Amino acid sequence: MKKVLFQSLCLILISFAVPSYGDQLDRVLALMEEKGGKIETLTADFTQVKRFSLFDDKQESRGRIYYKKGGKMAWHYAPPDSNEVYLNDGVAWTYIPDIKQIQKIDLGRDYKISTLLIGFGVPASELKKNFAISLVSEDEGGAFVLDFFPRNKEIANVLEKIRVWLDREKMVPVRTEQFERSKDTTVFEFTNISINPPIKDSFFKFKAPKGVEVVDYSKL
């Protein structure tokens, strides 16, 4: 009898010790939306590491990102890459100087680029609509850790999940990792984050340099 009571007491204690991640997830998403709503602009340095499982190789890049409320974003890669990516009005422009080409892509059709906006001002309702979300950790090195599983079957066939580390104070990503079905991964780490610096709308309006080929994938 004492053994049964002891086991019951242990189960009760465990139930208090284990967090209710369902309730906490809603709280984290609400906090993310609340603080995200106060962010008009953001800049940060980033490092990007793409690992190729088939070749056991990796590709490293770095640069700076610029964000403005309303889905406006720019990624400026540092040499030797020097690529530029602009997100504005539901369209992404990728400028690749090495091949003198600009690629125009509809964000609704390109999961790799559209997922870069996760954690940057996207409403919780929209995130829940597009992803099944789970809270992995409530505090890992000062960050909330969330997994985002694509609901779209076409995207899910290629992308297994996106794991995001959110700074607990700023509620913006400090790390994002994309897991592909091919076992390739891409990791972004963000540092030197500045909230609400002055950035003009014109900064996000990409102007194609002369003599550069424009490939419009949005019409394909």
Q: What would the pLDDT profile of 73-120 be if each residue is shown by its tens digit?
A: 999 999 988 899 998 888 889 999 999 999 988 876 666 666 777 888
pTM of the model: 0.82
Locate the domains of the chain by residue range: 18-205
User: Looking up tokens 């592909």, which residue turns up?
Assistant: 180
6 vs 128: CA distance, rounded Å: 41
Instruction: Please give the structure tokens belonging to residue 77.
Output: 């890669």
Q: What would the pLDDT profile of 37-71 be if each residue is shown by its tens digit?
A: 899 999 999 999 999 988 888 999 999 999 999 88
41-52 β-sheet, strand order? 131-137, 143-150, 159-167, 173-180, 185-195, 41-52, 57-68, 72-77, 84-88, 91-96, 101-106, 213-216
CATH superfamily of 18-205: Lipoprotein localisation LolA/LolB/LppX (2.50.20.10)
